[in-house]
Chain A
Amino acid sequence: MTEEISSVVEVDDQEYIINFGPQHPSTHGVLRFVVNLRGEVVKNLQPHIGYIHRGIEKMCEKLTYQQIIHLTDRMDYLSAHMNNEAVCLCVEKALDIEVPERVKYVRTILDELNRIASHQLWWCSFGMDMGGQTCYFYGLRDREKILDIFEETCGGRLLLSYNTPGGLMWDIHPNFQQRIKDFIKYFRKKLPEYDKILTGNVILQERTKGIGHLSLEDAISYGVTGPTARASGFSCDVRKNYPYSAYDKVDFKEILYTEGDTFHRYLARMEEMRESMKILEQLVDNIPAGDFTAKMKPVVKLPEGEYFQRVETSRGELGVYIISKGDKFPYRIKFRSPNFCNLATMNLMASGFKIADLIAISGSMDLVIPDIDR
Chain B
Amino acid sequence: MDNQKLKEKVLSFVPNAEVEENKQYLIVTVTPELLHNLAKKLKEDPETDFSYLFCQTGVDYGDSLGVVYHLESVKFRHSIVLKTKTTNRDNPQMASVYDLWKAAEYHEREIFDLLGITFKNHPDLRRFFLDESWGYPLRKDYVDSTNIIEK
Q: Which residues of A line the B interface, CB within 8 A? A: 8, 49-50, 53, 55, 57-58, 93, 218, 220-223, 234-236, 241, 305-308, 310, 317, 319, 321, 323, 332, 334, 336, 340-341, 343-344, 373
Given that A234-B74, A319-B55, A341-B106 are known contacts, is A308 also in contact with B24, CB under 8 Å in the complex? yes
Given that A58-B138, A241-B77, A373-B129 are known contacts, is A332 also in contact with B59, CB under 8 Å in the complex? yes
Given that A53-B129, A53-B130, A234-B74 are known contacts, is A222 also in contact with B102, CB under 8 Å in the complex? yes
- B9-21 near A? 1/0 per residue, CB < 8 Å: 0000000000000
Distance in angstroms between the alpha carbons of A336 and B54 in the assembled complex: 8
Distance in angstroms between the alpha carbons of A10 and B68 in the assembled complex: 34
Say which size band chain B's interface belongs to.
20 to 34
For A221, give its contact among B24, B57, B101 (CB under 8 Å).
B101
Distance in angstroms between the alpha carbons of A336 and B110 in the assembled complex: 11
- Give the tally of cross-chain contacts (CB within 8 A): 72
Distance in angstroms between the alpha carbons of A220 and B114 in the assembled complex: 25
Distance in angstroms between the alpha carbons of A332 and B61 in the assembled complex: 9
Secondary structure class of chain B's binding surface, majority of residues: loop
CB contacts (< 8 Å) of B130 on chain A: these are: 50, 53
Given that A8-B124, A332-B60 are known contacts, is A223 also in contact with B54, CB under 8 Å in the complex? yes
| Shortest distance between the CB of B18 and any CB in chain A (Å) | 15
Task: Check B103 against A323 for contact (C-beta < 8 Å).
Answer: no
CB contacts (< 8 Å) of B138 on chain A: these are: 57-58, 332
Given that A241-B77, A321-B57, A336-B55 are known contacts, is A222 also in contact with B137, CB under 8 Å in the complex? no
Distance in angstroms between the alpha carbons of A8 and B122 in the assembled complex: 12
CB contacts (< 8 Å) of A319 on chain B: these are: 54-55, 70
Given that A218-B102, A223-B101, A340-B106 are known contacts, is A317 also in contact with B54, CB under 8 Å in the complex? yes
| Shortest distance between the CB of B9 and any CB in chain A (Å) | 21
For B129, give its contact among A49, A221, A310 (CB under 8 Å).
A49
A-B contact pairs, 7 of them (CB 8 A): A53-B129, A221-B103, A223-B101, A223-B103, A310-B54, A334-B55, A341-B106
Distance in angstroms between the alpha carbons of A159 and B55 in the assembled complex: 26
Task: Check B54 against A50 for contact (C-beta < 8 Å).
Answer: no
| Shortest distance between the CB of A351 and any CB in chain B (Å) | 14
CB contacts (< 8 Å) of A218 on chain B: these are: 102
Distance in angstroms between the alpha carbons of A223 and B128 in the assembled complex: 19
Task: Check B60 against A220 for contact (C-beta < 8 Å).
Answer: no
| Shortest distance between the CB of B113 and any CB in chain A (Å) | 8
Task: Check A221 against B55 for contact (C-beta < 8 Å).
Answer: no
For A344, give its contact among B51, B55, B74, B105 (CB under 8 Å).
B105
Task: Check B22 against A222 for contact (C-beta < 8 Å).
Answer: no
Q: Of residues A218, A308, A323, which shows the largest number of chain B Cβ atoms within 10 Å of its Cβ?
A: A308
For B106, give its contact among A236, A307, A323, A343 (CB under 8 Å).
A343
Task: Check B128 against A49 for contact (C-beta < 8 Å).
Answer: yes
CB contacts (< 8 Å) of A336 on chain B: these are: 54-55, 57, 70
Q: Which 7 A-B pairs have the closest CB atoms?
A: A223-B103, A50-B129, A53-B129, A336-B55, A334-B57, A221-B102, A222-B102
Distance in angstroms between the alpha carbons of A308 and B51 in the assembled complex: 19
| Shortest distance between the CB of A372 and any CB in chain B (Å) | 9
If A8-B124, A49-B128 are given as contacts, then 5 extra A-B residue pairs at C-beta distance below 8 Å, sorted by A number, are: A93-B23, A220-B52, A321-B57, A334-B57, A336-B57
